[in-house]
Structure 1
Amino acid sequence: MFSKFTSKLLIFSSLACLLTYFYFFRIPKKPAKPLQYALLLGCPSKDDGSYSTSQKNRCELAIEAYRQNKYQVLIISGGAVKNKWIEAEQMKKYIQARCDIPMILEPHAKNTYENMKFTKELIDTNSILILTSSVHASRANALARQFFKHPVLWTYKDRSWKHKWREFLSRLVYIQFEIKKKWTRIV
């Protein structure tokens, strides 16, 4: 069906794709000791301002990690991306109604890259606990490593196929962006 050359090219291409994928998306570390800061990555509210399931899950994760003494201060990052509701402010309200956690808001980020960039501008630290879903963890970890020397992750299990598909597409865009960035440094 395939020529020998085509078969070898297909195998080589598949291997190159796998190596590239695992280079960018290493398995994130788990927190070993309490950290000063945790970063809760924003997530959009529903259009009517009510909390989305993902938003609630991330907030509950932040509360759980705080109660388990994984961090001291929570940074909530996220702007008004999908609708008029500022993610950081909405998530702060949810958490404050359930737990008294010291918080810093970063209400301008429009994506995961900006979550990391704007948070690094707020705090001077090399270690941070990233709070997000299991589906988002690998890409969040890859982006966090650009700004923090020692990012660690705390996640909740996300089983949504919609989220998995969206994350897959986001990872492809991220890999393409990183390859272009590295290629322009070489040329």
Structure 2
Amino acid sequence: MGSISFLIMHSGRWNEDNCYVYYNIEAIVIKEYATFRELLDVVSKQICVDLSFNSVKLRYKIEGSNAPLEIHNDMGVRVYVSLKKDNKELAKYPLCVSVFVNDCELADRNILEDGFGMCGIDGGDIVNIQSLVLSVPKNNDYMNCDIITNTKHKVVLEDQVYKDKESLKSVMTQYAIEHRF
């Protein structure tokens, strides 16, 4: 049984042109016959995402397509592996990873007037949203916001949302050290 190596781009976001931008990049290896669950486990461990609190979307773009393809089941993994086997160039068809907070009745309970809300890991409401985010997105498409969970995230931009206060503090501390603030 062989293995496939490929790049994963994470901690970025999709822009209006369907391009994944402002990302970190790493390489991983999976078994040639990996299941969707096995792929999720390898990716989440590599980028330090806890799947019990987050969901992950795996997408890639192929030549001639404007929209990315999403891997959401075993068949999607088999198609992706087949594509990578045909083209062994490591940088070809990188897997773009988006992380979302997946719970606590976000849609039902905690939507603030400006269109975004969050809840804590224990299910309780987070009252002080400003202490968790740099700036709140000004749209109602809150479920499509990429939530930064990687405490080693290196790109700091306006409108980023962090999983929790500790993640924000860690990223800001690292950013301040690297940029000598």
- TM-score after normalising by structure 2: 0.27
Larger Rg: 1
Higher helix share: 1
Higher normalized contact order (CA 8 Å, seq sep 6+, divided by chain length): 1
